[in-house]
Structure formats: structure tokens, C-alpha cells
């Protein structure tokens, strides 16, 4: 006899099939390409194809309670390789996680803290909202806080949580502020009023939290007048580009690599100082694999005199995820417990194998992930992790200075 929970699995798949998000999961032919492509599939009790199989077979309860549910790091490899075009990353995983949360199953403890931080403080680090603009203290360029001084600007920069609070990221944030100013762009930020965009929360299946953040951000953004909404965070870019419109909120959003790439001609005469480095670039998953923007970051690096660009064996659409997306940033202990290692450790070894002395990144999570990985893998001092912004700023003579 079929129970309510048995039926729920089929209903969930049917609902996803009608959502317009890729093809119906019920069309899955169990080819296993998703499981083989997933960087953590080897360690999952239920990789994507088995999630579908079990949900259809009336074993949803088992799926919802499995540690596998919290191992997807949102790299999009399974979705893009699925021959049936099933939207696994943006569709199936969040829906199952949501179902699990609604069933009262407790997510990993480290994740609960992140959720609570976001709900209470609007940032994932559990920091004071009043300190969100501390990165700009004593900065040598003017930072316009549009929440206090509203005015039309070319660029509204959503700075993001890590770039606002995390000391290592603040170096990049300040450099980007100088670059924007040097380019003659009028720009502003939302200061203490800014909230996390919430992409990872949606991927976590915490739809209510995501909706709350969308509502709060809309209230702020709709009051501002700007041509471009700019973010350093590929995950935020993805959320604003795809998920916000689903909630009726459309904004002209760009990731900074695209924004700067559009200004290559303007940058050329400014990028003068040689930066002697052999650089390998790590494609982030959201702007790279998902949005197929592979050349702009490389072309930006190519502008810098002295930079020699070398490729990792796994690059572009075949790039290995750093393990921080889809909420993986706050699931390291869970993933190591069930998967045995951090993907960032594996990835940095791949970077070192190229002979590069610098690993260039374009995502705020990757600085801390890869710098930690360098320590774990004894690569500290041999391979520097730097954001593209830092390399550009050094060449433009706009690097860290005059900051107390």
C-alpha cells in the first residue's frame, strides 16, 4: 500500500517537471552520467540519478534523511551533462532539501548557524550589519553610501558578505573600489543596509530565507537609480540573473569580470606595471560553466604585462569546482566526513601541477578556500592565490595602500 510519503516523491518530481526548470526528472533514463560527472558522486549514497530513482520508487523518506542531500556543491556539471536536460542543480537538489527541511529533518549543524546568521543579520558570517562598510574606513577613494546619500549612479555595487567582512577579501574589495574610481565610473554601495543576495540559501532549499532576502533587497534596490548592478560574487550574479526575476525582481546585473572586460580598451593604457607571474586561472562554476563566460577573465589577465597564462588540465567547462558553491562553503565538515576530502585541496594540486606560481580566481569564496588548501597541501609560499582584481590593481598601481 502506498503511503503519503511514498506519493510525495512522485508528486515532487511531477511538480519539478511542470516548473519550466529543465525537462522532467521523470524522463531520467538512469544513464548515470550525472553520478560519474559529480566530483563528489563517488561518496554519495544517492547521487542525482539515484535521488530520482528512490523518489519515484516511494523511498523519499530515505533520501531526505541521507547525508547525500547536503553534499551537492552546486557546480552544475551534472545539469550540463545530463542528456535529458534535467535541471538537477537548480531544480532537483533545492527541491529535495526544501522537502527535508519542511519534514523537520535537521540540516548539518554548521549550516544551521549560517541560516540563522543570514536571517538575523543579513550576512552569512554572523557579523554586525553596522560593520558592513568597515572595509572602506580610511580608504583613499570616496565610497558613496547610497542608503544615506541617494543619487543616480552608473554602478550600484552590491559588495557582498565575504568582500565586506573577511579581512583577506577586504584587500580585493578596496582594490576594486580604486579601479572603479580610476575608470571614471560613478558608483555607490548600500552600506550597512546591504543584505546577502541569498543564492546559496536557495540552493540549500531554504526557500523561505531566500524569499526574505529577495524582499529585503528589493526594497533597497528599487529605491536606487543605477545603470548596472555589479557584484564580485558569481553566486550572487547567478541569483540576480536567474532567480530574482522568478520573484518579479529584474536588475541589469553583471559580474565584475564581464564589467571590466567591456572596458578593456579603457584599461589597456592603465595596466602598465609588469606583474611577473605565471598564472593559472580557476573558472568559477556560476560565471564559467553555467554561463559559459570563459574568455573574459583570461583576456583580462592577458592584459597585464609580465603575466604568463598557463592552463590546468581541467579548465573551462571541465573545471573542477572549489567545493564552496551551493552552500558547500558552510558544509566543509559534513563533506569531509562523508566525502573524505575538500575539493579545493584537490583543485590546488591541479593548479600547482601546471608549474604556475599564482592561482587567479574571480570569486570571493575561492580566496579563503584555496589559501586554506595551500596550507593543507604544503603549497603555501609556492603558489599564491590572488583575485584577478588584485593582479589588475597591482599593474595599475592601485594595490593596497593608505589603509589603517
Partner 1 sequence: MNIAVVLRQVPDLIEPLEVAGSGQALDWGAASFILNESDDHALEQALLLKEAGGGTVTVLALDFGEVDNTLYAAAAKGADRIIKLPMDQDTPPSPQAAAARFAEAIKPLSADLVLVGVQAHDELDGVLPPYLAAALTAPYAGVIRGVKAGPEAGTVTAFKEFPGAVMARLTVKLPAVLGILGADQPPRYVPVSRIRGAMKSTTFEEPEVAASVPESRVAVDKMYPPVSAAHAEMLSGGEDEVAAGIVKILAEKGIIK
Q: Is 107 in the site for partner 1 (CB under 8 A)?
A: yes
Backbone angles phi, psi at 280, to 5 degrees: -115, 140
Q: Is 266 in the site for partner 1 (CB under 8 A)?
A: no
What 8-state DSSP symbol labels residue 155? E
125 in Cβ contact with 165 (< 8 Å): yes
Judged by CB, which is closer to partner 1: 123, or 368? 123
Binding piece for partner 1, criterion CB under 8 A, among 61-69, 126-134, 169-177, 224-232:
126-134
Residues 6+ apart with CB under 8 A from 72: 38, 40, 89, 93, 203, 326
Minimum distance between the CB of residue 287 and partner 1, rounded to whole angstroms?
Answer: 28
- Give the residue, chosen from 58, 208, 306, 399, that forms a contact with partner 1 under the rule CB under 8 A: 208
- Other Cβ atoms less than 10 A from the Cβ of 184: the count is 9
Report the site for partner 1 in 319-358 (rule: CB under 8 A): none
Q: Is 116 in the site for partner 1 (CB under 8 A)?
A: yes
257 in Cβ contact with 251 (< 8 Å): no
- Give the residue, chosen from 121, 281, 330, 365, that forms a contact with partner 1 under the rule CB under 8 A: 121
Q: Is 126 in the site for partner 1 (CB under 8 A)?
A: yes
Judged by CB, which is closer to partner 1: 99, or 315? 99
Minimum distance between the CB of residue 159 and partner 1, rounded to whole angstroms?
Answer: 19
25 SS3 class? helix
Minimum distance between the CB of residue 40 and partner 1, rounded to whole angstroms?
Answer: 23
Minimum distance between the CB of residue 254 and partner 1, rounded to whole angstroms?
Answer: 29
Cell of 258: 564581464
Judged by CB, which is closer to partner 1: 216, or 332? 216
- Give the residue, chosen from 7, 15, 130, 148, that forms a contact with partner 1 under the rule CB under 8 A: 130
- Give the residue, chosen from 3, 30, 106, 266, that forms a contact with partner 1 under the rule CB under 8 A: 106
Q: Is 207 in the site for partner 1 (CB under 8 A)?
A: yes
Cell of 21: 526548470
Distances in whole angstroms, Cα of residue 309 to Cα of each of 94, 170, 262, 280, 288: 37, 25, 20, 6, 17
Q: Is 69 in the site for partner 1 (CB under 8 A)?
A: no
Binding piece for partner 1, criterion CB under 8 A, among 188-196, 201-209, 237-245, 378-386:
201-209
- Give the residue, chosen from 147, 181, 186, 212, that forms a contact with partner 1 under the rule CB under 8 A: 212
- Dihedral (C-alpha) 70, 97, 88, 325: value to the nearest 10 degrees? -50
Judged by CB, which is closer to partner 1: 194, or 387? 194
Residue identified by cell 574610481 is 181
Judged by CB, which is closer to partner 1: 215, or 311? 215
Q: Is 137 in the site for partner 1 (CB under 8 A)?
A: no
Judged by CB, which is closer to partner 1: 30, or 102? 102
- Give the residue, chosen from 112, 227, 246, 318, that forms a contact with partner 1 under the rule CB under 8 A: 112
Q: Is 119 in the site for partner 1 (CB under 8 A)?
A: yes
- Other Cβ atoms less than 10 A from the Cβ of 202: the count is 28
Q: Is 176 in the site for partner 1 (CB under 8 A)?
A: no
Cα gap 48→26, rounded to integer Å: 12
- Give the residue, chosen from 104, 184, 248, 269, that forms a contact with partner 1 under the rule CB under 8 A: 104
SS (H, E, C) 160-225: CHHHHHCHHHHHHHHHHHHHHHHCCCCEEECHHHCCCCCHHHHHCCCHHHHHHHHHHHHHHHCCCC
155 in Cβ contact with 228 (< 8 Å): yes
Angle of CA points 50, 54, 57, to nearest 5°: 140
- Give the residue, chosen from 21, 90, 194, 206, that forms a contact with partner 1 under the rule CB under 8 A: 206
Minimum distance between the CB of residue 127 and partner 1, rounded to whole angstroms?
Answer: 7
Backbone angles phi, psi at 278, to 5 degrees: -100, 115
Cell of 283: 573558472
265 in Cβ contact with 343 (< 8 Å): no
Q: Is 102 in the site for partner 1 (CB under 8 A)?
A: yes
Judged by CB, which is closer to partner 1: 1, or 109? 109
Residues that bind partner 1 (CB under 8 A): 98, 101-102, 104, 106-107, 109, 112, 115-116, 119-121, 126-128, 130, 206-209, 211-212
Amino acid at each position: 500500500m502506498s503511503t503519503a510519503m511514498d506519493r510525495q516523491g512522485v508528486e515532487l518530481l511531477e511538480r519539478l517537471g511542470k516548473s519550466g526548470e529543465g525537462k522532467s526528472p521523470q524522463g531520467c533514463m538512469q544513464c548515470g552520467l550525472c553520478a560519474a560527472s559529480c566530483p563528489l558522486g563517488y561518496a554519495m549514497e544517492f547521487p542525482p540519478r539515484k535521488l530520482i530513482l528512490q523518489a519515484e520508487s516511494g523511498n523519499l523518506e530515505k533520501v531526505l534523511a541521507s547525508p547525500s542531500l547536503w553534499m551537492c556543491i552546486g557546480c552544475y556539471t551534472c545539469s550540463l551533462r545530463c542528456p535529458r536536460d534535467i535541471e538537477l542543480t537548480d531544480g532537483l537538489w533545492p527541491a529535495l532539501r526544501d522537502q527535508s527541511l519542511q519534514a523537520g529533518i535537521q540540516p548539518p549543524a554548521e549550516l544551521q548557524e549560517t541560516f540563522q546568521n543570514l536571517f538575523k543579520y543579513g550576512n552569512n558570517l554572523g557579523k554586525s550589519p553596522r560593520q558592513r562598510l568597515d572595509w572602506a574606513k580610511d580608504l583613499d577613494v570616496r565610497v558613496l553610501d547610497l542608503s544615506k546619500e541617494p543619487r543616480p549612479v552608473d554602478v550600484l555595487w552590491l559588495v557582498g558578505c565575504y568582500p565586506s567582512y573577511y579581512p583577506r577579501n577586504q584587500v580585493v574589495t578596496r582594490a576594486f573600489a580604486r579601479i572603479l574610481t580610476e575608470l571614471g565610473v560613478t558608483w555607490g554601495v548600500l552600506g550597512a543596509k546591504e543584505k546577502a543576495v541569498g543564492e546559496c540559501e536557495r540552493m540549500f532549499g531554504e526557500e523561505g530565507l531566500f524569499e526574505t532576502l529577495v524582499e529585503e533587497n528589493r526594497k533597497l534596490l528599487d529605491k536606487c537609480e543605477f545603470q548596472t548592478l555589479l557584484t564580485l560574487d558569481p553566486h550572487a550574479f547567478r541569483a540576480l540573473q536567474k532567480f530574482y526575476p522568478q520573484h518579479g525582481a529584474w536588475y541589469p546585473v553583471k559580474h565584475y569580470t564581464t564589467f571590466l572586460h567591456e572596458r578593456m580598451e579603457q584599461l589597456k593604457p592603465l595596466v602598465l606595471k609588469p606583474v611577473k607571474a605565471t598564472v593559472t586561472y580557476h573558472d568559477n562554476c556560476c560565471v564559467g560553466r553555467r554561463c559559459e563566460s570563459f574568455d573574459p577573465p583570461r583576456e583580462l589577465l592577458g592584459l597585464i604585462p609580465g603575466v604568463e597564462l598557463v592552463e590546468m588540465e581541467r579548465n573551462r567547462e571541465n573545471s573542477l569546482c572549489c567545493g564552496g558553491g551551493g552552500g558547500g562553503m558552510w558544509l566543509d565538515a559534513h563533506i569531509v566526513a562523508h566525502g573524505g576530502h575538500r575539493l579545493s585541496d584537490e583543485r590546488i594540486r591541479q593548479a600547482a601541477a601546471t608549474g604556475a606560481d599564482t592561482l587567479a580566481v574571480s570569486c570571493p569564496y575561492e580566496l579563503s578556500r584555496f589559501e586554506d588548501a595551500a596550507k593543507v597541501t604544503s603549497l603555501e609560499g609556492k603558489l599564491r592565490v590572488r583575485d584577478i582584481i588584485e593582479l589588475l590593481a597591482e599593474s595599475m598601481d592601485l594595490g593596497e595602500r593608505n589603509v589603517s
